[in-house]
Structure 1
């Protein structure tokens, strides 16, 4: 009596011999998709699996994957059927060309989350890689982009000069509103472009904005809600300026997104928001060769803490899940307790 032994096909061999892969050298998502197809999974299932990563992470990992593939091909080694030693050699290559710890960590994370799709079971226990990364951290510790931040009063004085609102061009009105929001709520650019008029509601002197779409820190059971408060100085009141902006753009807009282009009146991207914020810094007399748009987030939260805003209010307002990064880069002595927007805008 003979027994039949069920054997899984060699997925890696089957997949790498595919003419599609040979001809196009696909990106990371397509490579994973092809590997899953060889396992008999449908395109719908593959799409759901790839949705485990956020769009920004997918883009970042795809860039790292292509560099990994190029390095492997130059060495005539397989980028799919790899070993811990090969990955260590690649990470050492990145270190030797002076890539930062964060770059190495991105490539390491990408590989540890990608290679298992091609049958590399060793990725579950990568002791040497963990120790290597810890060694890199100790020998070349990451440093913050900014060693200091600009004085928020410089930008506040410029924004005050943009008054009255009815005399401003749509461009300057847009600059004022986006900068006030960036200072008063310390949002990420992704949060700003996700703000939608259909998800905003005024309750007394506060405008509530919810986000049905996924943000960077969105987790099940932890929705982020932005509260836009009234401020006593009308020239710096986010709520006053924002409601005026909404009223002015109502007959022009071609999107329900809060921020629209002052040229096409369509929704804008995060890069456009960043360009607007950088323009505000430039107009305020701040060196934009050094400070970029994201510095609004560090400047406002640092100012809030220095003027007595409680740490938990800063974390809640800026949508941080942990105080680790804030404590490392911005921690100062607290004097008293004030609300976030009043701490930032008060002199």
Structure 2
């Protein structure tokens, strides 16, 4: 059962479990008995206790009333009420060209921001791209993600990313940028490193999700995006919102970003003001090319 949870979820729930244990010990309650007033003031507490005590905790009228009161006393709203325009970033990184004449750091930042925008995937997913799972063909580059990620589940397809050759404007072509990155890093890449993205300084090793997030934020900042308000994860908001504005169907957006067919995550948390999966990147890139 513990293996079904990610490390981040376990760390989040750990606080709740400790508080619940202290509460039960102090009041003489059975740790595994939810009779009486349930404990918790935040939604993560409810989720943790629901896993331990059963789903009836979340549906208990007293818990629901408690959380409603917490919301009124200390409202919690989505992190972003609006999002930035990907065209601004694409216009800026188009000046970083030719790719093979860029510094290692600038080429890396260009690649990660194009990957983030053209796939709408999480940084975690980008950090797990392996060389052996990259397939180059005349129309573009296919990338299979075979590692367990946040959305992995039994019976659910793993992400398959597609980067088109954006021949209308090679300056922001994600497939060409990836090819050039592979060429530039070929000689310095350690034999034991199978990850696509590697660090920009010696000794070269696989780039962590934290490093990729930092590069994305730097690219955003250099493009004029307010990184005090928008983090690396905001690329998912920007890309999916731009796709929606361009008329892409909700089903296509869900598939591209890794949400299930019935997921309401996009509508609730990601769709902000400002296809088939293979066309998703093309449509996002077209937003940037319109200024040229």
Aligned to 1:243: 179
Shift of 1:277: 0.8
Q: TM-score, normalised by structure 1?
A: 0.71
- 1:87 corresponds, among 31, 35, 38, to 38
Aligned to 2:265: 325
- 1:261 corresponds, among 184, 199, 208, to 199
Please list the CA deviations of residues 156-197 of structure 1 after superposition, one character each: whole Å capped at 9, or x if unmatched.
Answer: 111101111122111000000000011111110111011111
1:56 aligns with 2:8: yes
User: In structure 1, what is the Cα distance between the partners aligned to 2:71 and 2:228?
Assistant: 30
1:161 is paired with a residue whose SS is coil
2:143 is paired with a residue whose SS is strand
Q: CA RMSD in A?
A: 2.7
8 A contact 1:207–1:229 mirrored in 2: yes
Aligned to 2:138: 204
Q: TM-score, normalised by structure 2?
A: 0.83
User: In structure 2, what is the Cα distance between the partners aligned to 1:107 and 1:84?
Assistant: 16
User: In structure 2, what is the Cα distance between the partners aligned to 1:219 and 1:184?
Assistant: 24
Aligned to 2:210: 271
Aligned pairs, how many?
A: 274
Aligned to 2:125: 191
Asked which structure has the greater CA Rg, the reply is 1
- 1:106 corresponds, among 44, 52, 58, to 44
Q: Structure 1: which 5+ runs fail to align?
A: 1-48, 95-103, 117-122
Aligned to 2:65: 132
Structure 1 stretch 310-319 or stretch 127-136: which is displaced more?
Answer: 127-136
Shift of 1:106: 1.4
8 A contact 1:230–1:239 mirrored in 2: yes
Shift of 1:253: 2.1
8 A contact 1:197–1:258 mirrored in 2: yes
1:65 aligns with 2:17: yes
- 1:344 corresponds, among 273, 284, 291, to 284
Structure 1 stretch 245-254 or stretch 273-282: which is displaced more?
Answer: 245-254
8 A contact 2:50–2:56 mirrored in 1: no
Q: Structure 2: which 5+ runs fail to align?
A: none
User: In structure 1, what is the Cα distance between the partners aligned to 2:55 and 2:284?
Assistant: 46
Please list the CA deviations of residues 27-62 of structure 1 after superposition, one character each: whole Å capped at 9, or x if unmatched.
Answer: xxxxxxxxxxxxxxxxxxxxxx32122333223222
User: In structure 2, what is the Cα distance between the partners aligned to 1:246 and 1:78?
Assistant: 60
Shift of 1:305: 1.2
User: In structure 2, what is the Cα distance between the partners aligned to 1:179 and 1:79?
Assistant: 50
Please list the CA deviations of residues 218-257 of structure 1 after superposition, one character each: whole Å capped at 9, or x if unmatched.
Answer: 2223222111111121000000000111121122223111
1:194 is paired with a residue whose SS is coil
Please list the CA deviations of residues 258-281 of structure 1 after superposition, one character each: whole Å capped at 9, or x if unmatched.
Answer: 111111321122121111111111
Shift of 1:310: 2.3
Aligned to 1:298: 237
- 1:162 corresponds, among 91, 96, 118, to 96
